[in-house]
Amino acid sequence: MKTNPFDRLNFGGSLLIILLSALLVIPLVGEKTKSLSKEKKGLITYSAGRVRKKEINAEDWKPATVNTSVLSGDRVRTYRKSRAELELVKLDVIRMAPETIIDVVKLYEETKDRQKETQITLQKGDIWAKIKKKDKNTKFDINAPVAVAAITGTVLRMNVDADSSTELKVYNGEVHITNAPEKTNLAPQFIGVHEVPGPHEVPGPHEVSAEQWIYIVKNMQKIKLDKYGKVTEVGDFSLKDKDEQTDWVKWNLERDKLR
């Protein structure tokens, strides 16, 4: 049986059309992937003074100017008389005071449970965070050396001293902070309900194991922790307080008005 040459021509033409279509689709897929990748990154939106970034597995610090990207695994630091502002996935803002170091551990990464998870670790220094409201499928944590703060949609300030002692202030919203993030059965404590004894000298040179706790810190409330993760002070604060009259606080409040 003879093969019709026109049939072969039609087959070859169809194959050519399929190949050309595939070539046209591949760049579109690439652009979409690139776009999604862009959406999952942070961006330096303000940089003053000496601001540096170190990528994961890199040895050298590089200048972090405005529009520098920040990805999961990056470390960002400010030096004396320096400030920086990071915009995370066009949703959230982290601002860094002078002499501050943060690690972007995870940035809206999808977990096995299909949750979107973000982890920022404050190694030392002072940060101001404006985090948009999160749903049940989104987890946003800010870690200090002695505690973890779960954010649900908050304006907050966190400071970590050289000895790892930590202070958290919540200006708006609510934060759940704990020194035992792996424990899910701890009964939360509320500021104003439980009194915390004042600081006292710890005997012996060995590290003290602090009692495990979780606190819910709300609007205009603060909590202080010592270097062992023990709660030393809780209470309210006011914008009229001396500590709230600094240029750092005023600058952040003005920047927040722009968003």
Residue 57, SS3 per DSSP: coil
Task: Summarize pLDDT for 138-168 with one digit per residue, the tens.
Answer: 999 999 999 999 998 999 999 999 999 999 9
Question: Which has more pLDDT, 42 or 14?
Answer: 42
- Per-residue pLDDT, 229: 95
Q: Residue 40 — very low, low, confident or very high, per pLDDT cuts 50/70/90?
A: low
Q: What is the rounded average pLDDT of the residues 59-68?
A: 97
CB atoms within 10 A of CB 52: 19
Chain-centre distance for alpha carbon 102: 9
Residue 72, exposed/middle/buried by CB under 10 A (0-12, 13-18, 19+)? middle
Q: What is the rounded average pLDDT of the residues 105-130?
A: 93
The answer as to whether 10 is a domain residue is: no
- Per-residue pLDDT, 14: 56
The answer as to whether 87 is a domain residue is: no
| Burial track 83-93 (b if 16+ CB lie within 10 A, e otherwise) | bbbbbbbebbb
Q: What is the rounded average pLDDT of the residues 65-88?
A: 97
Look at residue 202 and tell me whether its pLDDT is greater than 90.
Answer: no
The answer as to whether 5 is a domain residue is: no
The answer as to whether 3 is a domain residue is: no
The torsion region of residue 49 among left (phi > 0), alpha (psi -120 to 50) and beta comes to: left
- CATH number of domain containing 167: 2.60.120.1440
User: What DSSP character marks residue 198?
Assistant: P
The answer as to whether 15 is a domain residue is: no
Look at residue 241 and tell me whether its pLDDT is greater than 60.
Answer: yes
CA–CA gap between residue 238 and residue 197 (Å, rounded)? 22
Residue type, 171: Y
CA–CA gap between residue 142 and residue 140 (Å, rounded)? 7
Q: Residue 220 — very low, low, confident or very high, per pLDDT cuts 50/70/90?
A: very high
Q: What is the rounded average pLDDT of the residues 73-94?
A: 96
Supply the range of the domain harboring residue 151: 100-200+207-257
The answer as to whether 7 is a domain residue is: no
Q: Residue 33 — very low, low, confident or very high, per pLDDT cuts 50/70/90?
A: very low
- Per-residue pLDDT, 114: 83
HSE, CB side, 13 Å, CA atoms: give it for residue 67: 0
Q: Of 114, 94, 97, 113, whose CA–CA distance to 105 is shortest?
A: 94
Tally of domains in the chain: 1
Q: Which residues contact 135 (CB under 8 A, 6 or more apart)?
A: none
Q: Residue 2 — very low, low, confident or very high, per pLDDT cuts 50/70/90?
A: low
Q: Residue 77 — very low, low, confident or very high, per pLDDT cuts 50/70/90?
A: very high
The answer as to whether 106 is a domain residue is: yes
Q: What is the rounded average pLDDT of the residues 62-85?
A: 97
The answer as to whether 44 is a domain residue is: no
- Per-residue pLDDT, 110: 87
Q: What is the rounded average pLDDT of the residues 64-92?
A: 96
Give the rounded percent of residues in the chain with a pLDDT score beyond 90: 70
